[in-house]
Each structure stands twice: as structure tokens, then as C-alpha cells.
Amino acid sequence: MSRAEWAAVEDDERELLEDNNLLERRPSRKSVSRRPDERTALLDGPEDDGPEVDAKWDEAVVAGRIQTTWKREVAVLSRYSRSLIVTFVLQYSLTMASIFTVGHIGKVELGAVSLATMTANITGFSVYQGLATSLDTLCAQAYGSGRKSLVGLQLQRMVYFLWLVTIPIGAIWLSGTWILKAIVPETRTAELAGLYLKIILLGAPGYAAFESGKRFVQAQGKFEATLYVLLFCAPFNAFLNWFLVWHMELGFIGAPIAVAITDTLLPLCLLLYVYTQPDTRACWPGFTRRALHNWGPMIRLALPGLVMVLAEFLAFEILTLAASWLSSTHLAAQSVLSTLTALTFQIPFPMSIAASTRIANLIGATLGSAAKTAAGVALCAAVFVGLFNAVLLSALRNYVPRLFTEDEGVIALVAAVLPLCAAFQLFDALTANCNGILRGLGRQEVGGYVNLFAYYVIAMPLSFYTAFGAPQWGLYGLWAGPALALGIVAAIEGVFIYRLSWEGAVEDARKRNAEDHR
């Protein structure tokens, strides 16, 4: 580690020891390193108590005497989350920019970009995100256990794996027009959506590398890294959409060109950040052939993570396909609703990433009890965020739709269904954070099974029955199923986490790290 990293780790260990009355409380480094003034003693300075802290820490960990506090975990979760929330909102704005720009061309174009985005999410972007969630466990636990070179090794493996997965994804996107024509009744909509998919394929390898790189820096607590990247790339993407669609008069085709350029730029900017940060670069062991071997532990965690993410993604995107069978107005309204609910999801989901990183770090450091406290803080924060999102969507239901379209029929339909979307925001936030806790523990398979059951055994049949069956609730009925599914997932995963053996999770992490350290 660098001198700054050792100082940060030592400060954190000292504060935990002081909180547990295992070490005499002393001024922090920050308080004793301030600029001297006339009141500062000439010989005043921090004492070098590193060896004492290390000895006390090792002794306390072995004895199981290290406990954290809710106040400390609230501060940590807040510090981790604030950058991540802005980061994920900015990243989602890359998609929203296309919807905003194209939506004002016409109703057919709005439906087409929604359909294309849905297909890209189901068959590509959510696949990358789901598989990369294994790094939330592998990289964070490796970093928490002090094995820094293992963090970069896991990154290399994931990038190669995702690039390999891009081959079948590309085949699907290149066949997008033919596939969508067989599903969607409106030919023009399917043609435009298929064209969109062909163009954004050029940026898919870059997106895959960026999703892996995000986990690499987040595992080290460098949550501001992706924020800096997106503070540049998100406005640039919005400018590109305007410039290509309206200024260059390329129309619909300008939006996917902007997406492909931005997706390629994202990992390059993140690489530049890592290169300029010695502390972060220290986790990169250099290119090694070891990255081509021992993919088993990664894939065993990646596949359940994929199911956990894709199950929810796919369920909501199936609603978009179903809405296309109602009318073009319903499809456009569904585009607005899915965009709004996805935007509100950009608050609890980053919080779940922060929680999974913190919990995995504590598990890697063999602090099971502290990880349990961190999980409790994450769930309480989820309740607050869920209620906030519910109030926000309800209050703005008559105003927000006008930002997306000028069609009065679409605006009225969105305003009518939005209260239902607001009602399940609490369950959505709880589900996101339960999934994050499971990732931090390396128990992605639990979330995968629960999501599959809730969405495809209960939610989807209910949605199609209430939308197209006897009740004939239309778009309102389509959203009834996922609302119920989110409540079921939150309840089942919450009970599992409550009854979990945290010391068993510590032992599992120790074995997993030892397997890759041999």
C-alpha cells in the first residue's frame, strides 16, 4: 500500500478500536495535521502508534471484539452512496438523452427508441451488468483481505469474459429487425428499432469494459472515479444527441451514433483516471496469463448475478413488448413510465452497490458482526429512499410526462398509471438493497431463485391476465404484476438475510480468497 492508504486504514482501525473501548481515544490525523498557528505547540504532532494499533487490531479481530455502530455505518454508506447516486443518474442520462431527443420527432420514433432500448437492455446491457456483479463480491472481498493484485486479476478475467459474451449479443442485435418484426405488430417501429441496435453494437465492447472497470475502482472505495468520468461523458452525450439529430439533421439515426461514441469513450476516460492515480494503479498487476485461467469461481458468482439482474430487467421490458399490442399510444406511454421508474431506481441501486462493497470489505476483513450492522443500516436507508420516491412520483404525475412528449393522449395515460408506479417504490428500494447485501455476501444464487419465482411464476401471469383478460385494465394491469413481485422479493430475501449466519459468510469468503491466492 501507499503511505496514504496505510494512514487511512490505520485511522479506520484506530477509530473502531476506540469505539469499542479497546484503545485510548486520541486526536485523529486530520485534527493534528492542520496548519499550525500561534496556539499550536512547537513540538506537537501525531504520535507513531502504528505498531500498537496493528497489535490491538489483530488481537481484537481474533477475539471477536470488534463491533461497529449504526452512526459509523450511516456515515460510511452516505459517503459511498453520494458519488454513486450521481454517477448512476448520469449514466442513465445516456439513455434518457436519446429518448428525450427522439421523442420530440414523433410518436412512432419514441416507441421505436423505447423498443430498441428495451431489447438492448434485455439482451446486452443487463447481461453485462448482471455478470459484472460478481466483481462486487470478488474484488471487494479481495481488497478487504489485503490482496490487492487479486483485484486487478479479477478485473482482467471479467473483461475477457464479457468480450466473449459480446459475440452472441452481437448476433442478436444484428438480427434485431427480423426478430422485432416477428414480435411487434407495427413494421416501421420494428425497422427503426432494429437499425438502432445495429449501430450501438459498435459501442458494446466499450460498455462491457466500463462496467467491469466500475467494479474495480468501487471495490477500492474510489466511488468518485466513475463520477468524474460521467461528469464529462454525460454532457458530451447530450450534446452529441442534439448535434447529430437536430443540427446535422440526421434524425433518428443520430441518437444511436451518439450512444456508440459515448460507450466507447467511457472506458478510455476511466483508464486515464486509473493511470493518474498511484493508489488505484497499485491494484493493477499488469497483463498476465493467469487471467485466462480459473474462471470457475467468477462464473459461479456471475451467472446467479445475471439471473438476479436480468429477471427484473426482463420482466419490466416484457411490459414494453406487451404494450405494443395495445396501441402506439400505450407503447409511448410505457416508454415514459419505464424511463421514470428506471430513473428513480438510480437512487436505491447505487446505494445497494455501496452496501455490497462495504459488506464485502468487512466480510473480507473477517468482521461478520460489523457486516451485519452495515446491512441493517442499508435496509433502513432503503425504506427512507423508497418513501421519498413514492411521494415524488405522486406529486409530479401531471407535470413530468410533458417533458417527454407533446401528445395529450400519452400524457393523460402516463398520469393515470403513475400512482401505481409510485406505490411500489418502497418495495423496489428494499429489493435493490437486499440484492446488494446478497452480492456482498457472495450469495447471488438466492436472489436469482427468488426473482425468477416472483416475476415469472406470479407477476407475469398476473400482468397478462389483468391487462388482456377479463379485467381489461390495459397498461394499468400490466404494471400490477411487477408491483406484487417486488413485494414478494423484498419479503423473502429480507427473511433470508435476517436468519443468515454471518460467521459462515466470513468463512466462505476466506476459502474463496485462498483459492485464488494459491
DSSP letters of 331-350?
A: HHHHHHHHHHHHHHTTTHHH
- Average pLDDT on 257-261 reads 94
Tell how far CA 423 is from the center of its chain. 22
pLDDT of residue 434: 94
pLDDT of residue 44: 43
pLDDT of residue 43: 41
Residue 32 has pLDDT above 50, yes or no: no
Q: Tens of pLDDT along 166-188?
A: 999 999 999 989 988 888 777 88
Q: Say whether 179 sits in a helix, a strand or coil.
A: helix
495, with CB counted inside 10 A (0-12, 13-18, 19+), is exposed
Mean pLDDT over the full length of the chain:
82
Residue 384 has pLDDT above 90, yes or no: yes
Residue 25 has pLDDT above 60, yes or no: yes
Cell numbers placing 241: 444527441
Contact 447, 500 (CB under 8 A): no
Model confidence, pTM: 0.70
pLDDT of residue 73: 85
The C-alpha cell 432500448 sits at: 117
pLDDT band at 45 (very low <50, low <70, confident <90, very high): very low
Expressed in angstroms, the distance from the first to the final Cα of the chain is 21
pLDDT of residue 30: 46
Q: Say whether 510 sits in a helix, a strand or coil.
A: helix
Max mean pLDDT range (35-39, 217-221, 316-320, 482-486) = 482-486
- Average pLDDT on 209-237 reads 88
Nearest to 217 by CA among 230, 205, 235: 230
Give the integer Cα–Cα distance in Å for 251 and 360. Answer: 46
- How many CB atoms within 10 Å of residue 107? 19
Cell numbers placing 394: 405522486
Tell how far CA 182 is from the center of its chain. 32
The beta strand positions in 96-236, using DSSP E, are none
pLDDT of residue 288: 81
Q: Tens of pLDDT along 200-213?
A: 999 999 999 999 99
Q: What is the largest CA-CA distance in the chain?
A: 84
pLDDT of residue 31: 46
pLDDT of residue 56: 57
Q: Say whether 365 sits in a helix, a strand or coil.
A: coil
pLDDT band at 376 (very low <50, low <70, confident <90, very high): very high
Of residues 3 and 425, more confidently modeled: 425
Give the integer Cα–Cα distance in Å for 130 and 136. Answer: 11
Crossing angle for the helix pair 502-517 and 134-144, to the nearest 10 degrees: 80
pLDDT of residue 185: 75
Q: What is the DSSP letter of 40?
A: S
Give the integer Cα–Cα distance in Å for 200 and 207. Answer: 10
Contact 213, 155 (CB under 8 A): yes
Contact 96, 46 (CB under 8 A): no
Percent of the chain whose pLDDT exceeds 70: 85
Cell numbers placing 21: 473501548
Residue 312 has pLDDT above 80, yes or no: no
Amino acid at 67: Q
Amino acid at 18: E
- Average pLDDT on 124-134 reads 87
25: left (phi > 0), else alpha (psi -120 to 50), else beta? beta
Of residues 174 and 225, more confidently modeled: 174
Residue 17 has pLDDT above 50, yes or no: yes
Give the integer Cα–Cα distance in Å for 301 and 439. Answer: 9
